[in-house]
């Protein structure tokens, strides 16, 4: 297949592009390189040293003979996007190219506005570009489980059957997003649903949980192909932060009581989910929603797991509780459905001690790169 991976320089996009290329697909990466600029803005870095995107792609071709086409540009520039679509004629468009950090979106008004404009307008441009240039292209859009929030009922996959005053309908599942970033994803979902219903486009919204892990078979082929690993309080996930804190001898800092529960999946499952979705496209006019996660854990569960694995490596890590900088429920019911991708063939990689040890050992190897002033939260919702 001809597949565009927008955001192909990022944590999820890069290993996805390599995986699809190795599988024999004609892959094109579209990226503005803005993720690297955000590191400069925040005075942060990837724990792993990452090469330039051009050097990464060149090394991939040397190793495999597979060419990945590259376009540097912004999806918010419609003429650029339209040119890419006209020249590549994709059969699937994998959309990772959004500002994906809740804390970044909550820094201040400017960052909230940027996040919503960048994400919503960029996705609208993709919708219109597909409609005008490649109307049969399947849009695979990375959503987030954070759209749902933490309702006191089971979370369905995108839709819920409602009986009200004697009448019945299947409606979009109610959304309770927890940040300006998550709100942007809700707007995306509504726009995509509209486009499919009105213009007959085909789209799959992958409501992804928190991704952990670092390596895939492809990124381990050469040091120039290594994936990025974020650990700071803005882009680093709780699990990554705990692992890096353990590696440098810092306390494991749990927000509040640590009862916040979310869905998680391994980066290897992320790339497999994209492949499964591309191989099983939505029908014309269909807007599908898959909940893309494999396990559920609380923040305190993760801290305990990291503490236990760190002890095996001779690292004594203490769990401490910080005032929660976010506004969220700390004790809540959480049960989300995630059967659709498994029905299509996903065989999950579960969060084992060995998986955690793999990341921890990488963190220990590169611990001299850790900017210790970035391991605690600086952004507050309040």
CB of 269 closer than 8 Å to CB of 348:
yes
Rounded distance, CA 97 to CA 229, Å? 17
- Report the candidate in 14, 17, 78, 83 with the shortest Cα–Cα distance to residue 228: 14
Q: Give the span between the Cα atoms of 5 and 371, in whole angstroms.
A: 31
Is residue 343 packed enough to be buried (19+ CB in 10 Å), middle (13-18) or exposed (0-12)? Answer: exposed
Measure the CA–CA gap between 230 and 191, rounded to whole angstroms.
Answer: 30
Q: For the chain, what is the radius of gyration of the CA atoms?
A: 20
The C-alpha atoms of residue 293 and residue 209 are separated, in whole angstroms, by 5
Residue spans of alpha helices (H) in the chain: 13-22, 34-42, 53-64, 78-88, 102-105, 109-116, 122-133, 180-199, 238-247, 267-279, 299-312, 340-343, 353-365
Tokens describing residue 216:
């895939």
CA 77 – CA 280 distance, rounded (Å): 30
Distance CA 95, CA 75 (A): 10
Q: Out of 48, 88, 123, 144, which one is annotated catalytic? A: 144
Q: For residue 54, count CB atoms less than 10 angstroms from its CB and return exposed for 0-12, middle for 13-18, buried for 19 or more.
A: exposed
Check 185, 231, 261, 294 and give the catalytic one: 185
Residue 198 CA to residue 235 CA, distance in Å, equals 36
Instruction: Name every residue whose Cβ is closer than 8 Å to that of residue 37 and which is 6 or more positions away in sequence.
Output: none
The yes-or-no answer on residue 305 being catalytic is no
Total residues found in the chain within this entry: 382
H/E stretch holding 3: strand 2-6
Residue among 119, 366, 373 at smallest CA distance from 233: 373
CA distance linking residue 72 with residue 237, whole number of Å = 27
User: Is 181 designated active site?
Assistant: yes
Residue tagged active-site, from 181, 212, 231, 255: 181
Secondary structure (3-state) at 161: strand
Catalytic annotation, residues: 144, 181, 185
């Amino acid at each position: 297949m001809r597949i565009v991976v927008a955001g192909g320089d990022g944590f999820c996009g890069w290993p996805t592009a390599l995986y699809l290329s190795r599988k024999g697909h004609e892959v094109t990466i579209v990226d503005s390189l803005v993720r690297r600029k955000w590191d400069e803005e925040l005075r942060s870095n990837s724990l792993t040293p990452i090469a330039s995107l051009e050097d990464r792609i060149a090394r991939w071709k040397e190793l495999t003979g597979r060419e990945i086409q590259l376009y540097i540009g912004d999806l918010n520039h419609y003429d650029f996007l339209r040119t890419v679509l006209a020249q590549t004629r994709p059969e699937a468009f994998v959309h990772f190219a959004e500002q994906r950090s809740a804390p970044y979106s909550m820094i201040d008004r400017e960052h909230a506005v940027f996040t919503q404009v960048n994400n919503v307008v960029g996705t609208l441009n993709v919708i219109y570009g597909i409609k005008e240039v490649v109307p049969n292209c399947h849009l695979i859009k990375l959503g987030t489980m954070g759209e749902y929030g933490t309702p006191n009922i089971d979370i369905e996959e995108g839709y819920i059957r409602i009986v009200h005053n004697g009448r019945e309908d299947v409606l979009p599942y109610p959304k309770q997003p927890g940040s300006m970033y998550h709100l942007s994803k809700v707007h995306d979902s509504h726009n995509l649903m509209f486009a499919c219903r009105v213009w007959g486009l085909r789209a799959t919204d992958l409501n992804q949980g928190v991704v952990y892990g670092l390596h895939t078979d492809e990124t381990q082929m050469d040091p120039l192909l290594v994936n990025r690993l974020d650990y700071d309080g803005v882009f680093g996930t709780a699990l990554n932060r705990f692992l890096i804190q353990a590696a440098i001898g810092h306390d494991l800092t749990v927000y509040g009581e640590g009862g916040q529960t979310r869905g998680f999946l391994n980066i290897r499952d992320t790339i497999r989910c994209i492949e499964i979705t591309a191989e099983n496209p939505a029908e014309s006019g269909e807007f599908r929603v898959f909940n893309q996660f494999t396990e559920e854990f609380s923040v305190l569960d993760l801290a305990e797991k990291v503490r236990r694995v760190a002890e095996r490596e001779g690292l004594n890590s203490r769990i401490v509780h910080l005032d929660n900088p976010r506004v969220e429920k700390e004790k809540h019911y959480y049960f989300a459905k995630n059967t659709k991708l498994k029905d299509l063939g996903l065989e999950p990689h579960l969060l084992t001690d060995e998986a955690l040890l793999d990341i921890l050992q990488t963190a220990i190897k590169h611990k001299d790169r850790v900017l210790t002033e970035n391991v605690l939260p600086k952004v507050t919702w309040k």
